[in-house]
Structures are given as structure tokens and as C-alpha cells.
Amino acid sequence: MLHTTVDTYIVDSCYTFDEGYETAIMNNGNAWVIVERYPTYEEMEIGHAKWCKFCETEPTEVFSVQTDEMEEL
């Protein structure tokens, strides 16, 4: 599992039994938003770093791969 705090954002990447490897983001204690899924651990590591960098831009919304909609962070 990878867990990184970027300012007010938490980026968490892990293996889930139902969907495999995935990355989720939470901001200011709001709900988690699943932003990407991966076929391998190595791709998850790369994706995790990408999403940490993304959070440095202080986004207010992101596309959820779980709901197929934009969601607020």
C-alpha cells in the first residue's frame, strides 16, 4: 500500500479484492474518489506518483472511475 499526504490531500494506492490495484484521493476529510485502476503493482506505483503530482495543483474535482462522473474533492 502507498499512502502520501500532499497539503490537504491524501493519495492512497492499494490492492482491493474486488477491483485489483487502484488509487483514490481524499481532500479535507471528504469522501474518497477512486481515480485510476491498474493491472500491476508496478503500474500502480507510477500512477500513485502521477496523482501525488496532480494534487500539487490543488484540484477541486476529478473524474471517478467508480461512478464514471466528475466528483468534487
**How many other CB atoms are there within 10 angstroms of residue 15's CB atom?**
12
| Residue whose C-alpha cell reads 503530482 in the numeric block | 53
Number of domains in the chain: 1
What are the tens digits of pLDDT across the range 15-72?
999 999 999 999 999 999 999 999 999 999 999 999 999 999 999 999 999 999 999 9
Question: Hey, what's the cell of 14?
Answer: 492499494
pLDDT of residue 73: 96
Give the range of the structural domain holding residue 45, as residue numbers without chain letter.
2-72
Closest CA to 5 of 27, 21, 23: 27
